[in-house]
Amino acid sequence: MGNLQLIGPFTQLITMAGLPEKGPISDEKMGIIPNGGVLMNYGVILKVGEFDQLYKNVKQNSIDLIEFEHEAVALPGFVDPHTHLCFAGSRANDYAKRISGKTYLEIANEGGGIWQTVQDTRAADKDQLFDDTLKRGKSLLHTGITTAEVKSGYCLNFEGELKMLKSIKKADEHTEIDLISTCLAAHMKPRDFDGNTEEYLSYILNKLLPEVIGKNLSSRVDIFIEDGAFSELESKKYLIGANRLGFDITIHGDQFSQGGSRVAIETGAISVDHLEASADKEILSLAKSDAISTVLPGASVGLGMPYAPARKLLDAGNAVAIGSDWNPGSAPMGNLLLQASLLSASEKLSNAETFAGITIRASKALNLHDRGVIKQGMVADIIAFPCTDYREILYHQGQLKPNIIIKKGKLINV
């Protein structure tokens, strides 16, 4: 057989093509093709349409036919635009304290929080970090996530951050899922750094980041703008410098207090993530910018706090992406579909808005424009669920799993 492939028929093929880039989306705009099929070549989509018609229009002896006899609803492969899945250790102790009534900041001040994971991750060797990241990446792929962002930020020193980014890169090379690395050395100032927060950011900017981009370990930087982390003013200076080095910018912002979204707008960030504390002023300002608003329901579940105002963000005209925030502290679950389902029920997001948040709009939060939609010229990342109606997927709130996963035209065993 050659590299020309035809897959289908899908009971419903949800293309997500032609959606508005920002604002609300009704389910009628999802681009549903009954009895749909996809023609692919070298992992890229050539044509999309009705399966039988596609089959008639090709030479049957020149294609590799991947035909399904069971019911299936197909969607673009899911994209998780915000994870921290490269880490070592556990924060079960933090969680026990949190559900007993202590706050995130109280736990951090007692020696827990991010600093606990920093100590554990520093102690892990590169092989352990690679193995753990690879294992978690593979687990995401089998839930239908074909692309995931992965942050560093749990070593907070020169050698350790490079160790993390190298582990992420190696894991990406050893599994089908695309793992997109982000340098989050500006997660917090490490307690053993001899200097203030501004001096620490200068250290990252002038020593670490040139090495990161020079060795092609990441093209993205992130920073946590919050009390106990970094201020608006010093964050803005750092991000402008990182952008001059050639990095795309994303921001942890408006999680517990406002300000991060303002920096995102002023620095031209691709996305601002969290937004639980965003009020009307921040929501309206973000809508006038190009920044993707990435909400993280897993953090709300893990911390027992309200969800980000996704409905208000959409109604104001924002592009809303949804990420899992999988991390060992505030969001240990890592189940994107479950979290998106819970968010949609609470915030009253349509199926279209929810699926866009974990496909096309999530792709744009990573500055990726070749996936998240099933149409000609896109990467052939396609997943399918064992049902006849797309509405069954969110209805089952993460319990319905994809039984067909195609990554770059390759059928993955599930």
Q: What pLDDT, in 10s, does the model give residues 280-308?
A: 999 999 999 999 999 999 999 999 999 99
* DSSP one-letter code for 62: G
Residues 6+ apart with CB under 8 A from 42: 3, 409
* DSSP one-letter code for 206: I
Checking if the pLDDT of 246 tops 90, the result is yes
**Averaged over 232-261, what is the pLDDT?**
98
State the pLDDT at residue 2: 54
Percent of all residues in the chain with a pLDDT value above 70, rounded to a whole number? 99
3-state SS of the chain: helix, strand, coil percent to 5? 40, 20, 40
114 by Cβ neighbours in 10 Å (0-12 / 13-18 / 19+) ranks as buried
* DSSP one-letter code for 227: T
Question: Within 19-125, where are the H helices?
Answer: 51-56, 92-99, 104-109, 114-123
pTM of the model: 0.97
* DSSP one-letter code for 386: S
Checking if the pLDDT of 61 tops 90, the result is no
Structure tokens at 181: 């690395």
Element (H, E) at 359: none
Structure tokens at 230: 């970094």
Would you say 52 and 69 are in contact if contact means Cβ atoms under 8 Å apart? no
- Count of residues for the chain? 414
Residues 356, 361, 363, CA angle at the centre, nearest 5°? 120
**Averaged over 101-105, what is the pLDDT?**
85
Percent of all residues in the chain with a pLDDT value above 90, rounded to a whole number? 92
Cis amide leading into 9 (omega within 30): yes
Checking if the pLDDT of 189 tops 60, the result is yes
Would you say 89 and 327 are in contact if contact means Cβ atoms under 8 Å apart? no
Checking if the pLDDT of 100 tops 60, the result is yes
Structure tokens at 154: 């749990």
Architecture of domain 79-365: Alpha-Beta Barrel (3.20)
Domains of the chain, residue spans: 4-76+373-412, 79-365
The residue to which tokens 């009390």 are assigned: 227
Checking if the pLDDT of 349 tops 60, the result is yes
CA gap 48, 14 in Å, rounded:
11
Element (H, E) at 184: strand 178-186
**Averaged over 396-400, what is the pLDDT?**
96
Of residues 413 and 212, which shows the higher confidence score?
Answer: 212
State the pLDDT at residue 23: 98
Checking if the pLDDT of 1 tops 50, the result is no
Helix axis angle for 114-123 and 158-173, nearest 10°, is: 70
pLDDT digits (tens, 9 = 90+) for 147-183: 999 999 999 999 999 999 999 999 999 999 999 999 9
Domains 4-76+373-412 and 79-365 share a fold: no
Of residues 64 and 232, which shows the higher confidence score?
Answer: 232
Question: Within 124-255, where are the H helices?
Answer: 126-141, 158-173, 197-203, 209-214, 232-245
7 phi and psi angles, rounded to 5 deg: -120, 145
How many other CB atoms are found less than 10 A from the CB of residue 219?
A: 16
How many other CB atoms are found less than 10 A from the CB of residue 318?
A: 27
CA gap 21, 156 in Å, rounded:
36
Considering the four listed CATH numbers 2.30.40.10, 2.60.40.720, 3.40.50.1820, 3.30.70.270, the one that applies to the domain covering 4-76+373-412 is 2.30.40.10
What is each CA distance from 357 to 46, 169, 181, 320, in whole angstroms? 25, 25, 20, 6
State the pLDDT at residue 157: 98
Helix axis angle for 126-141 and 158-173, nearest 10°, is: 40
Residues 346, 351, 353, CA angle at the centre, nearest 5°? 80
Checking if the pLDDT of 316 tops 60, the result is yes
Checking if the pLDDT of 265 tops 70, the result is yes
